[in-house]
């Protein structure tokens, strides 16, 4: 089950209910310490030097609880958060030992005052060192409700928050301090009793997804996807979209492309059917899903392609997924009731749809998602970027936790749109569009994470081979 994104006050309520049930703070701290140590060990190697920064609150207790699990294989130094004027010289000495990881347990969500000048100097010195920092629950100095700093905040490589994500950690202004946000959901608290419109996806949400296929299946069981993609100079987008769709394993895939790109695309596709653009094709009747957009950026597209795309959006009973340049073609007309419609903009494309700016989109991504969905008939929106959002004009918005900055390569979005379309072409996966979209986005990011763990210079072609292969 996904986790609600909560406030600090809600976290306190959850903890209070847990203590009332008989669970002790000491036991929860013990469990957090053990889980924290496991994450530290995965981030470092045997013999590495680890610097632990422990404050006087529960974050410091978590760090102290982790220490005993590290001593057998790591060189560890614990620096207690005494007055910063006394602690800064000790920090300087510790940094000279070149720590493989610094663990930040100085201040937690209880910090309610601006940091004084001495603490700001301490944190600034740590940030200047550029050593990797793992922040426990919240980077010290960051407000976990608003994402604002208390004068300054630790710039973490990864933040390991406990229980559930805190609202402020997802704010765009908090991203430089939070780094990669990870969650420790199983720490001895009661099952989360809280509700939120914003939900954090967990890998375990897809343990049984996609469902196992029947032994008597045939290709007709898994749908026929049409992809309208590619143009002169942008044929690679069509190829990547087709490869993404193939990894989702629909029964059949047909790619339609302008005639002047046909011969550039054909050598790259074998099991996929490739056809020159033909406006009389019965798109609204013959396919179980239709993807429109990857690589349709050239100025010399067939004159009737935009009109056909708009007709498909308005009339098709099948799922229609629109990406890239075709987002600008979308009509504001109503679509058939219960028909699945999906748009997959990045922030710049979202800004174009809203007649706004990418900066404003990033300032309030959930609002941007809601407004796009509302404008285009309650369509599903996959708002790409760091912590990709999936949702509609009402209901829950899901935050994706997987992926890394190395996804910022040309073709990454084409691959994702193809993978989404390949899944939604399958009748069984149309019953729960939210789960299908969440799985696609998570799998895309998780594949990038798996590649990054193996090598630093992977390509989108390698991502195309990996997507769909990660197990939750």
- Confirm whether 117 is domain-assigned: yes
Inter-residue contact 430 to 405 (CB < 8 Å): no
pLDDT at 447: 98
Counting the structural domains of the chain, the total is: 2
How far apart (Å, rounded) are the C-alpha atoms in residues 50 and 42? 12
Looking at the structure, do residues 237 and 135 belong to the same domain, yes or no? no
- Of the candidates 194, 228, 253, which is a domain's last residue? 194
Same domain, 183 and 266: no
Q: Looking at the structure, tell me whether residues 90 and 134 fall in a common domain.
A: yes
Residue 355 Ramachandran class (φ > 0 left, ψ -120 to 50 alpha, else beta)? left
Q: Are 202 and 1 in contact (CB under 8 A)?
A: yes
What is the Cβ-side half-sphere exposure of residue 469, based on CA atoms within 13 angstroms?
14
Asked whether residue 326 falls in the same domain as residue 190, the answer is: no
pLDDT at 281: 83
397 shares its domain with 275: yes
Mean pLDDT by 10 residues, the chain (472 residues): 95 96 96 98 98 94 97 96 85 96 93 86 96 98 94 96 97 97 96 95 94 93 97 97 98 97 96 92 88 96 94 96 97 93 98 97 97 97 98 98 97 98 98 98 98 96 97 86
Per-residue pLDDT, 204: 94
Round to the nearest angstrom and report the end-to-end CA distance of the chain.
Answer: 13
Q: Which two tokens stand for residue 31?
A: 């469990």
67 falls within a domain = yes
User: Strand pairing partners for 75?
Assistant: 49
In order of 391, 436, 444, the CA distances from 467 in angstroms are 22, 14, 6
Rounded-to-integer distance, Cα 16 and Cα 20, Å: 6
298 shares its domain with 381: yes
Pair (375, 273) in one structural domain: yes
CA distance 144 to 97: 31
Contact assessment for residue 5 and residue 167, using Cβ atoms and an 8 Å cutoff: yes
Q: Sign of torsion, CA 355 356 362 366? A: negative
Does 18 share its domain with 153? yes
Say if residue 269 is exposed, middle or buried (CB neighbours under 10 Å; 0-12, 13-18, 19+): middle
Looking at the fold, whether 35 and 181 belong to one and the same domain comes out as yes
Q: Please identify, among 142, 160, 194, the residue that sits at the C-terminal boundary of a domain.
A: 194
Q: Domain containing 334 — which CATH number?
A: 3.40.1190.20
Q: Domain for residue 152, yes or no? A: yes
Residue 141 lies in a domain: yes
Q: Point out the domain boundary residue: 138, 161, 194.
A: 194
**How buried is residue 369: exposed, middle or buried, by Cβ count under 10 Å (0-12/13-18/19+)?**
buried
Is residue 454 in some structural domain? Answer: yes
Please give the pLDDT value at position 108: 87
- Cα–Cα separations (whole angstroms), residue 110 to 48, 58, 66: 31, 9, 21
C-alpha span between 318 and 363 (Å, rounded): 34
pLDDT score for 82: 78
Tell me the per-residue pLDDT of 387-420, one tens digit each, with 9 for 90 and over.
999 999 999 999 999 999 999 999 999 999 999 9
Is residue 207, in this structure, part of any structural domain at all? no
How far is CA 69 from each of CA 27, 40, 56, 99, rounded to the nearest angstrom?
15, 10, 20, 18
Residue 386 lies in a domain: yes
Collapse the DSSP code of 126 into the 3-class scheme (helix H, G, I; strand E, B; otherwise coil) and give the result. Answer: helix
* Residue 208 belongs to some domain of the structure: no
| One domain, residues 365 and 461 | yes
Residues 34 and 160 in one domain: yes
Please check whether residue 32 is in contact with residue 39, taking contact to mean a CB–CB distance below 8 angstroms. Answer: no
Q: How far apart are the C-alpha atoms of 387 and 168, rounded to whole Å?
A: 13
Structural domain range at position 30:
3-194
Q: Output the six-digit token pair for 381.
A: 């929106």
The C-alpha torsion from 275 through 277 and 279 to 284, rounded to 10°, is 50
pLDDT at 278: 87
Residue 448: C-alpha distances to residues 285, 453, 471 (Å): 36, 9, 13
* CATH number assigned to the domain comprising residue 68: 3.40.50.10260
- The residues that bridge with 200 in the sheet, in sequence order, are 3, 399
- Whether residue 251 is found in the same domain as residue 183: no
What is residue 86's predicted lDDT score, i.e. its pLDDT? 84
């Amino acid at each position: 089950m996904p986790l609600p994104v909560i406030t600090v006050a809600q976290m306190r309520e959850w903890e209070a209910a847990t203590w009332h049930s008989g669970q002790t703070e000491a036991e929860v701290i013990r469990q957090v310490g053990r889980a924290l140590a496991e994450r530290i060990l995965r981030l470092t190697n045997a013999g590495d030097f680890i610097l632990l920064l422990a404050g006087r609150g529960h974050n410091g207790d978590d760090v102290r609880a982790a220490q005993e699990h590290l001593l057998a294989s790591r060189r560890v130094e614990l620096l207690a958060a005494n007055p910063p004027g006394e602690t800064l010289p000790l920090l300087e000495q510790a940094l000279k030992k070149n720590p493989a990881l610094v663990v930040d347990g100085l201040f937690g969500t209880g910090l309610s005052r601006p940091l004084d000048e001495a603490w700001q100097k301490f944190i600034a010195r740590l940030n200047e060192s550029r050593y990797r920092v793992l922040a426990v629950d919240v980077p010290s100095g960051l407000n976990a409700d608003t994402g604002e700093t208390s004068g300054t905040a630790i710039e973490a490589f990864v933040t390991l928050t406990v229980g559930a994500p805190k609202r402020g950690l997802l704010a765009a202004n908090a991203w430089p301090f939070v780094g990669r946000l990870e969650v420790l959901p199983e720490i001895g608290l009661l099952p989360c009793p809280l509700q939120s419109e914003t939900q954090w996806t967990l890998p375990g949400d897809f343990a049984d997804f996609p469902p196992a296929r029947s032994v008597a299946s045939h290709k007709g069981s898994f749908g026929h996807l049409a992809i309208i993609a590619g143009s002169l100079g942008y044929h690679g987008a069509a190829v990547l979209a087709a490869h993404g769709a193939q990894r989702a394993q629909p029964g059949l895939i047909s790619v339609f492309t302008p005639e002047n790109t046909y011969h550039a695309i054909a050598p790259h596709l074998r099991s996929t059917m490739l056809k020159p653009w033909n406006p009389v094709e019965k798109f609204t009747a013959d396919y179980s899903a239709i993807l429109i957009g990857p690589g349709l950026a050239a100025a010399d597209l067939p004159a009737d392609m935009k009109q056909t795309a708009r007709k498909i959006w308005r009339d098709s009973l099948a799922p229609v997924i629109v990406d890239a340049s075709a987002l600008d073609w979308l009509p504001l007309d109503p679509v058939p009731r219960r028909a699945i419609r999906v748009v997959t903009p990045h922030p710049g494309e979202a800004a174009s749809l809203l007649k706004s700016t990418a900066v404003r989109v990033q300032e309030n991504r959930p609002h941007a998602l809601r407004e796009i969905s509302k404008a285009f008939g309650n369509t599903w929106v996959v708002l790409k970027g760091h912590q990709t959002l999936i949702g509609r004009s009402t209901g829950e918005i899901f935050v994706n936790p997987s992926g890394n900055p190395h996804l910022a390569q040309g073709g990454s979005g084409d691959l994702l749109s193809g993978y989404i379309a390949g899944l939604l072409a399958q009748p069984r996966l149309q019953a729960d569009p939210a789960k299908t979209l969440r799985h696609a986005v998570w799998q895309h990011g998780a594949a990038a994470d798996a590649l990054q763990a193996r090598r630093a210079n992977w390509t989108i072609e390698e991502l195309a081979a990996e997507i769909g292969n990660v197990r939750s």
